[in-house]
Amino acid sequence: MKFRRQKKVDNTINLTPLIDVVFLLLIFFMVSTTFTKESHLVLDLPEADGEVAEVAVEGIEILIGKNGDYSINGKQLINRQLKTLMKALQDISSGNNEMPLTITADADASHQSVVTAMDAAGKIGFVHLKITTKQPDQES
């Protein structure tokens, strides 16, 4: 007897169309993506001109170091937290919010440290706030 050979059925999945679809999606996303160009602001910071004001004897001075460490009237605080700064300001001022408050920061101190000091003074209710600057060098 002569038996017919049965055809082998290919049970594999053809990946060629799948790869083509993936490449088409990749090309679509590459073409449709918008690339943003980050712009940088160029700031020209002002310099302070004017007469030097006398420092009040009864005022409070917050010194901000290069690393963001705080000192109030020469006394170093134990940490940089807002609560500690507010507590120290309350203790030194004895609740007198009318005292002049001067903030002196190192040139390399972070902006956040200065804002934290201003925030602490504002939350307590200080109204007379000064920020010290230095006179620009006179070029001759």
pLDDT in tens, 22-50: 999 999 998 888 777 665 655 455 566 77
In this structure, is residue 103 part of a structural domain? yes
- Output DSSP code: residue 131: E
What is the average pLDDT across 89-112? 86
Structural domains counted in the chain: 1
Statement: residue 108 has pLDDT above 90: no
Is residue 28 situated within a structural domain? no
Residue 47 counted as domain residue: no
Tokens at 106, concatenated: 């190192």
Domain containing 77 — which CATH number?
3.30.420.270
Query: Which residues, at least 6 apart from 99, have a Cβ–Cβ distance to it below 8 Å?
Result: 58, 59, 60, 93, 126, 128
- Tell me, yes or no, whether 17 lies in a domain: no
Burial 5-28 (b: 16+ CB within 10 A, else e): eeeeeeeeeeeeeeeeeeeeeeee
Asked if residue 50 belongs to a domain, the reply is no
- Encode pLDDT of 83-96 as tens digits: 999 999 999 888 88
Enumerate residues 6+ apart whose C-beta is below 8 A from 88.
70, 72, 75, 77
pTM confidence score: 0.56
- In this structure, what token pair is assigned to residue 65? 């170091």
The answer to whether residue 75 sits within a structural domain is yes
Q: Is residue 81 part of a domain?
A: yes
Domain extent, residue 125, equals 60-131
**Residue 122 resides in a domain:** yes
> 71 versus 39: which is more confidently predicted?
71
Question: Which residue's structure tokens are 């700031």?
Answer: 43
